[in-house]
Every structure is written in C-alpha cells, then in structure tokens.
Structure 1
C-alpha cells in the first residue's frame, strides 16, 4: 500500500446524479472511493471502487467531504440528514 503522502482528494460535480462528490485518488491518480452528496434526494453516500483502502486514507476522504460538501445546494446543512438518514 502507498504511504500517507500518496493519497489525495478532488472535488467532482456530477450533473447526471445531481450532486457533488469528493473523490479519493491513489498514488497512480485512480479514483478509488468517493463521498457523494445528492442534492435531489438529500443523501450522502460512500462508494468504494476497490477492496482495500487504508483507514488513514478513508479518514482523509471523510474529513474533506465534511468540509467541502456542506451544505446541500438548497442551503440545508448536511448534519441534519447525516444524523437522521
């Protein structure tokens, strides 16, 4: 597995799914996971595209998602739906 410095995140808008995501990239630049905020139905979902991701990389992804995806497009805070959904 790659070291701590090998992991990075990027923001991705998705018009088809009507939302915004934070993607986790490995050292090769491949998207290996994402946290996606759907503005249509007020959901926030985690998707993994590989079978193994180090916990510190998942922690990085979740921290960035909490920073960058709040609030929903209509202004409602994520925390309301994350706690209740």
Structure 2
C-alpha cells in the first residue's frame, strides 16, 4: 500500500526530507504523498521513514492503494531506473 497523510498533520516539515523517493510534498493545507512515488521505503529502508519521524502519527497506510511488497519493489525499480 502507499501511505497517506491525514488531516492531523501539523505541517512540521520533518517527513518531506526523509522520503527517498520524493513522494511527499506540501499540499494546499497539509503535506501530501504521491501514491505513484510511495514505495513505503521498500528498496531503501526496512520501515517507512516518514512514519518513523512523524511526531503526531498521522501517516497510515492508504486503504485505497493496496499493494504487495512485490508491487512496491517493482515501483521502486521503476523509480530508480532499475526495471528489468
């Protein structure tokens, strides 16, 4: 699954620089995650880095974007130009 940022976001700016895929960006009111770039850090880290640094725990899995670890790895390979 891709991750999402809920409206509990306090715009603290700590998640954006932690995303290795550049999937997090400032939206109109709160930070947003581009689901086409979010791999839950698969391929980079063992755990999603944005979730690790978020002080208000507002970055859950997006139930509308169900993806397996294999699908996330495929996305990682495409984003890093390593697709086979």
TM-score of the superposed pair, with normalisation by structure 1? 0.29
Higher relative contact order (CA 8 A, sep 6+): 2
Tell me the TM-score normalised to structure 2 length.
0.29
Give the strand-richer structure, 1 or 2.
1
